Structure 1
């Protein structure tokens, strides 16, 4: 295992009513000007309205800005950073999911960056010598991306992830009751998105990261169990809470400790982000491409997929060779996708979505593994 430094400066508050009870006390520690970042589709959600009311009662001067979907665009971040400078923002407060979380992180750095954010930190990963603007975060989605990990950014049809710990939020409030606003399809899509991120990260782990792989196995096994349970109309609140916390963990740098270089590229996630326009399309693209990736890995690295099959899908190999166990794991994944009513073959995707995927270089390498 390689040497590493682990930094986690976020104070997490998790549970029902945590926003109403604690957000005002956090806001008291910052100046009067706040940039409220929301997701485009969530402008009138209950969670956003609750935060607006708390900001008003706290006497904050609020400027609103919308990000999304899935991952912020560079132009969106530039505009948000300009607002921060013009309004002399003291705190960036995000309410939403992964697009908002990533957008807040990129904006906090872009607002103080003396050069071009993409040139210095997107392409080259330059050294940061100024403190970013502080961030707070209120989760209203099941998929909140990487609270303590790399942030995604899209620039000219290219998506990159960059990790800079000082951009982590100072505080993050996660209330599972906020996810009740999500439709069943959106809830499933967001939960699967987090599982897909964990699985793709698992498949790209480097040598010497055995501990990270084992931790991800445990996380994914729990996410699969919770997603299945949440499909039931009588899903318990504890199960919903467990799933929300698990989904908030997948992108943490905690699972990257020991990696020699920075956060890995996630080609499946990138292709789905660039091709889709709704959560349902995004989850569909993820499911087809991730299944193709698993088929590819089962051929190229059967030992890894065999371990995944045994420890995550809990297949009974009964002394089978790795190749057979790996294929059994792929079949278990197919069955799970069908349980979630997600597509398993490209023919099940919308024609426009399929055309967008075929234009993606990262997706083209996987298309030969789709049936």
Structure 2
């Protein structure tokens, strides 16, 4: 096991009716900006619950954070924060809203050009406090310090991270999943699954606790994920999927183990150029990256095949091929396409995305930095 330092200070309030606890988790003397996306929270009852919980607080709202939050929209919220003196951000939404709010919280107090936080890795020295009401289980952004923001003008989708934007608390009520459309449910399950795989499917370092935790998450998502689309889906199914998504990227399973993230880096560029949903890109890239890296990932793919998929690994090569196939089949089980051609895209994608990767310095991806630009190109060509 590798050396690590681990702490996760985000307080989780999990379960039915927990939105009400906002009133006691946000200081009364703060001025709160409630930030959300396209307005679905006004149709599913979440907005009303938030309003009721904030009764007695001074607060305003900012709507319109997009899927793949844009720098341009986030800066409008930053201006609103500065003009009106807001000193607490409440993100009500999924990963995109939360990521956008992390940037807003940092940019509002940043001395300089805020794009430098993303474009130049400028140090964030302070940020407004942030809380979350999660409406879409997917990214795990509700309890980590990472954010990804896109610049619509330059086709850049770039990350930043700082403990200063780690949410103080997150409210997770599985009932909010009842009104989610099929596309968002699919995105959430796939996102959580691939987050887990990025930290698990590398090479062994005898981190038995992390491996078993990751395998438990993968098994849960494979068992429960397809059920979220059923008309009579139970609360327990929703609860297990929601908690899996949070646990997949709160730092626990990634502590002390090598991590990949090549699928994400390639996927980010596809989103930036072609506008596909984040999880849609992950489902396209992961099976092909597994195939490209099947030798360097051999031991862990066989472990995954045996422990998670229950495959016979007597013939290792056959087991690896079947594990990759079954991974892609799982994506289909949760109603997620797995080919660029499913979105009307072809081999022309490879050249454009490789140029993007090169422009952003993503020339050696993966846990061994072994995925060169040419290998990324082959992954993309095979993804058609």
2:264 touches 2:282 (CA, 8 Å); kept in 1? no
Unaligned runs of 5+ in 2: 358-375
- Report the Cα offset of residue 148 of structure 1: 2.6
For residues 199-255 of structure 1, the C-alpha deviation after alignment (integer angstroms, 9 at most, x for no partner) is: 234346796766544432221111111113334433321111111111122122223
CA distance in 1, matches of 2:273, 2:296: 27
2:6 equivalent in structure 1: 6
Task: Give me the whole-angstrom Cα distance separating, in 1, the residues matched to 2:233 and 2:219.
Answer: 18
**CA deviation after TM superposition for structure 1 residue 109, in Å:** 1.1
2:198–2:261 CA contact under 8 A, matched in 1: no
Q: Which residue of 2 is the match for residue 288 of structure 1?
A: 284
Residues 263 and 282 in structure 2, CA contact (< 8 A), matched pair in contact too: no
Aligned match for 1:50, one of 24, 48, 51: 48
Alpha carbons 2:130, 2:166 under 8 Å: kept: yes
Q: CA deviation at 1:325?
A: 1.8
Tell me how far 1:111 sits from its aligned partner.
Answer: 1.0
Q: Deviations over 1:151-176 (max 9, x none)?
A: 11224323333332231111111111
Greater mean deviation of Cα atoms: 141-150 or 107-116: 141-150
2:71 counterpart of 1:78: no
The answer to whether the Cα contact below 8 Å between 1:47 and 1:140 also exists between their aligned partners in 2 is no
Deviation by residue 1:236-291 (Cα, 9 ceiling, x = unmatched): 21111111111122122223323689988822441353256475xx5443322222
Distance in 2 (alpha carbons) for counterparts of 1:205 and 1:161: 25
After the TM superposition, which residues 345-356 of structure 1 pair with which residues of structure 2 at under 5 Å, given as runs?
A: 345-347=339-341, 349-351=342-344
What CA RMSD, in Å, does the superposition of the two structures yield over aligned residues? 3.0
Task: Name the TM-score, length of structure 1 as normaliser.
Answer: 0.85
The match for 2:162 is: 164
Which of 216, 224, 227 aligns to 2:225? It is 227
* Cα distance between partner residues in 2 of 1:204 and 1:111: 38
TM-score by length of 2: 0.82
**Partner of 1:324 in structure 2?**
318
Aligned to 1:306: 302
| Range with greater deviation from structure 2 (262-271 or 248-257) | 262-271
Bigger CA drift: 42-51 or 350-359? 350-359
> 2:12 aligns to what SS in structure 1?
strand
Residue matched to 2:380: 367
1:140 aligns with 2:135: yes
Q: Is the CA contact 1:35–1:62 (under 8 Å) kept in the aligned structure 2?
A: yes
Show the counterpart of 1:23: 22
Say if 2:264 is the partner of 1:270.
no
Number of corresponding residues: 361
Say if 1:306 and 1:326, in contact at 8 Å, map to a contact too: yes
Q: CA deviation at 1:353?
A: 8.8
Residues 352, 332 of structure 1: CA spacing in aligned structure 2 closer, same or farther, 3 A cutoff? closer
Q: Residue 182 of structure 1 is aligned with which of 180, 183, 198?
A: 180
User: 2:336 is matched with which residue: 337, 342, 347?
Assistant: 342
Task: Output the CA distance in 2 between the equivalents of 1:128 and 1:105.
Answer: 11
**Residues 31 and 85, structure 2, Cα contact 8 Å, conserved in 1:** yes
Equivalents in 2 of 1:262, 1:335: separation in Å?
Answer: 22
> Partners in 1 of 2:28 and 2:206 — Cα distance?
42
Shift of 1:301: 2.9
Distance 1:56 1:136, change over 3 A: closer
Residues 41 and 57 from structure 1, CA distance in 2 versus in 1: closer, same or farther, beyond 3 angstroms?
closer
Secondary structure at 1:16's aligned position in 2? Answer: coil
Which stretch shifts more, 8-17 or 29-38?
29-38
Match for residue 86 of structure 2? 89
Query: Cα gap change, 1:26/1:152 in structure 2, threshold over 3 Å: closer, same or farther?
Result: same
Alpha-carbon distance between aligned partners in 1 of 2:71 and 2:206, rounded to the nearest angstrom: 34
C-alpha deviation, 1:352, in angstroms: 5.7
Paired with 2:381 and 2:123, the residues of 1 have a C-alpha distance of: 40
